[in-house]
Amino acid sequence: MSGNKTFTMIKPDAVADGHTGAIIKMIEEAGFKVVAMKKTQLTSEQAGQFYAVHKERPFYADLCRYMSSGAIVPMILEKSNAVADFRTLIGATDPAKADEGTVRKLYAKSIEANAIHGSDSDENAAIEGSFFFAGTEQY
Ligand code: ATP
Ligand code: MG
């Protein structure tokens, strides 16, 4: 059975460009409830830890640099079928392939600077949520 929580973060390009509010509005209008949220910045080491699954990929060093280049807004979200529904809302990794009306179609600049992250499984949603919010109240 699919779970009711997922994890997201608005990435440095979208935060720097002033799209945080517009993106949170899209998330809430799609029926997700924000249960934890903050604004923070990762070190390159923390970004590397977060994306450790990609450490053998050619884009890993660039990804760590990009993800630690500015503020991000991580959030835990709640909704039925959260992981799959949120991946639909954000669209494909490459904005050129993302459907009309998705967050990445509207706000991503490139396959790397693609505005937003969305967990790819219930298990990773729990791991990624605790990465930022372990021991934090959720509402
Ligand atoms: P995310 O995990 O951030 O939600 P995703 O699941 O759509 O994105 P992944 O394959 O997990 O895509 O890649 C993680 C991130 O690495 C991407 O969101 C993007 O920022 C970056 N990335 C992925 N593929 C490439 C690539 N070919 N070149 C540059 N950066 C890439
Ligand atoms: Mg991913």
- 85: which residues sit within 8 A by CB, 6+ positions away? 30, 31, 32, 79
The 3-state secondary structure of 62-98 reads HHHHHHCCCCEEEEEEECCCHHHHHHHHHCCCCHHHC
Pocket probe mutation, ligand 1, options 54, 87, 93, 124, max atoms within 8 Å of Cβ? 93
117 CA to centre of ligand 1 in angstroms? 8
pLDDT value for 137: 92
pLDDT score for 112: 97
State the Cα–Cα distance between residues 99 and 113, nearest whole angstrom: 17
pTM of the model: 0.97
Catalytic residue (one of 117, 118, 119, 129): 117
Per-residue model confidence as pLDDT tens for the chain (139 residues): 578 999 999 999 999 999 999 999 999 999 999 999 999 999 999 999 999 999 999 999 999 999 999 999 999 999 999 999 999 999 999 999 999 999 999 999 999 999 999 999 999 999 999 999 999 999 9
| pLDDT the model gives residue 1 | 52
Token output for 64: 């760590």
117 lines ligand 1 (CB under 6 A): yes
Q: Hey, what are 55's tokens?
A: 């450490």
Å from CA of 118 to ligand 2 middle: 7
Quote the pLDDT of residue 2.
Answer: 78
In the block, tokens 């693609």 appear at 114
Catalytic annotation on 19? Answer: no
CA–CA distance, 17 with 56 (Å, rounded to integer): 30
Multiple choice CATH, 5-132, 3.30.360.10, 3.30.70.141, 3.30.365.10, 1.10.357.10: 3.30.70.141
Q: Answer yes or no: are the C-beta atoms of 118 and 131 closer than 8 Å.
A: no
Please report the pLDDT score of residue 84 as a whole number. Answer: 98
Helix ranges (H only) for the chain are 12-16, 20-29, 44-50, 60-67, 82-90, 103-107, 122-133
Query: How do 73-78 and 5-10 pair as beta strands?
Result: antiparallel
